[in-house]
Structure 1
Amino acid sequence: MPAPEPTILATSGGYRYGRRTELEFGKLLHFAVELSGVDGRRPSVCHVNTAGGDQRADNARVSEAGGLVGWDVSHLNLFPMPPTDDLRSFVLSHDVVWVGGGSVANLLAVWRVHGLGEVLREAWQAGVVLSGVSAGSICWHVGGTTDSFGPELRVVTDGLALLPYGNGVHYDSEKTRRPAVHAAVASGELPLTYCTDDGAGLLYRGTELVQVVSEVSHGGGYVVQRDESSGTAQEEKLDIRRL
């Protein structure tokens, strides 16, 4: 059963350290599966780790975490080549697409080469829940701030733009994130921008933000927009639901 309408959960979380394994799925990833509406069978999750270079060790940790909760996890590796000639059928056969963190600039470039953006747009419209962390959050938006090019943050504006907003991640844990977002919004480089502290996620139905959630007891979500009269960025903290 697909989600009842196009759904994106864009996060700064979703993983946690495991008790017996290196990695476990956090509440945000469980929430993404819940949003898909799957019932009566094992959920199927498509893990996309392009931003992390398709490291097989990362894939193994995610597969192990999936086994712990009884989910079927497959991996859409694009290095050294895609797993199939039919990426559309591969992606649309899943309940959830989860995109890992890393270099969003490299992710977007590689996705363009393989036409994956168009496939993901169709999946979103068909009710596959699109989700992810960090680079896997920014990618669904117009763009955001990133350390893809080095320690000094820069702005990317060539995201898939399924959502017509900017996106800021790791807002509370990396001290340069907030001022970088404010500068980009004030200059007009980014449009209205939604941001998440670590552990928080933005739930969109269609292109409307309908809820901010968090898998931790602290932190939150924010909206930053340009004040046209002063040319400055104005930030507002959003209501949040703890999962």
Structure 2
Amino acid sequence: MAADQPTIVATSGGWVRGSWTELEFGPLVRLSLDLSGATGRPKLCHVGTANGDDRHMNAMASEAGRVAGIEVSHLNLFPMPPTADLAGFVLDHDVIWVNGGSVANLLAVWQVHGLGEIMRTAWEAGVVLGGVSAGSICWYTGGVTDSFGPNLRVVTNGLGLLPYASGVHLDSEAQRRPTVHEAVAAGKLPETHCTDDGAGLIYRGASLVEAVSERKRGGAYLVRRDDATGQAVETPLDTRRL
């Protein structure tokens, strides 16, 4: 099965602490699987490029899959890809879940291996694209990141499947909100879609259709430039609790 429309679930969440394992898939990951239309034992591809394909994280993701009854595989690019047919590997899944870390490094490595076009092909074919933090920013034109150091900077070389920018972890890191507002006001970023920790945004094609959260509080926001004042204006979104 495949999603009936190109679908992205861009989040600041997805992982929860497990009972018998260190991590489990949270409601945001499960929502991504539901949106894929997968039946039987769903297939999820975990992508850890942003953290250098950390094998410990891979193991935790595999354990989470075992607990949830989900078949998990890993798209490792270090030290080399797992196959010469990366497109076939990616397309053989219901959901691609991209983990957090350095989005600048992720985008550079993906460019070397041609992953951008492969992800676009998968998206158009109905594979649900999802992820957290760097794994959220990558689907947009860019966003705010700590990839270069503790002082946040803007990246503008995202895959551009979504014609907006991304602001993640808006409620948990003090620099995030003012940096997003400054970048939007200055025209460095276009309309920016932001999530608090635990929140996610669902897109059908390039259209935002719903904001959700796997937590009791925290939400999502649109930040746009008011051309009349030159200031950034933040608008909260109605957020459904999962």
TM over 0.5: yes
Cα offset, 1:167, TM superposition = 0.4
Aligned to 2:212, what secondary structure does the other structure show? strand
Is 1:123 the counterpart of 2:87? The answer is no
Cα offset, 1:17, TM superposition = 1.0
Q: Which runs of 5+ in 1 are unaligned?
A: none
Aligned to 1:181, what secondary structure does the other structure show? helix
- Partner residue, 2:36: 36
**What letter is aligned with 1:200?**
A
- Partner residue, 1:228: 227
Aligned to 2:97, what secondary structure does the other structure show? strand
Aligned to 1:34, what secondary structure does the other structure show? helix
- Partner residue, 1:160: 159
- Partner residue, 1:183: 182
Cα offset, 1:21, TM superposition = 1.1
% identical equivalent positions: 67
Q: How does 1:86-235 map to 2 (within 5 A)?
A: 86-235=85-234
Instruction: Provide runs of 4+ in structure 1 moved above 4 Å.
Output: none
Q: Output the CA distance in 2 between the equivalents of 1:74 and 1:60.
A: 10
State the aligned residue count: 242
Q: Output the CA distance in 1 between the equivalents of 2:175 and 2:19.
A: 32
Per-residue CA deviation, residues 184-229 of structure 1 (Å, 9 max, x unaligned), is 1000000000000000000000000000000000000000000001
Q: Output the CA distance in 2 between the equivalents of 1:11 and 1:155.
A: 18
Q: Output the CA distance in 1 between the equivalents of 2:72 and 2:20.
A: 19
**What letter is aligned with 2:223?**
V
Q: Which runs of 5+ in 2 are unaligned?
A: none
**What letter is aligned with 1:16?**
V
**What letter is aligned with 1:124?**
W
Q: Output the CA distance in 2 between the equivalents of 1:226 and 1:193.
A: 9
Taking structure 1 as the reference length, the TM-score comes to: 0.99
Cα offset, 1:86, TM superposition = 0.3
Q: Output the CA distance in 2 between the equivalents of 1:62 and 1:92.
A: 19
Cα offset, 1:20, TM superposition = 1.8
Cα offset, 1:26, TM superposition = 0.5
Q: Output the CA distance in 2 between the equivalents of 1:33 and 1:154.
A: 32
Cα offset, 1:84, TM superposition = 0.2
Cα offset, 1:70, TM superposition = 0.6
Q: Output the CA distance in 1 between the equivalents of 2:23 and 2:68.
A: 12
Q: Output the CA distance in 2 between the equivalents of 1:88 and 1:18.
A: 32
Per-residue CA deviation, residues 84-107 of structure 1 (Å, 9 max, x unaligned), is 000000000000000000000000
- Partner residue, 1:48: 47
Q: Output the CA distance in 1 between the equivalents of 2:120 and 2:47.
A: 15
- Partner residue, 1:21: 21
Per-residue CA deviation, residues 127-184 of structure 1 (Å, 9 max, x unaligned), is 0000000000000000000000000000000000000001000000001100000001
Taking structure 2 as the reference length, the TM-score comes to: 0.99
Q: Output the CA distance in 2 between the equivalents of 1:168 and 1:79.
A: 28
Aligned to 1:30, what secondary structure does the other structure show? helix
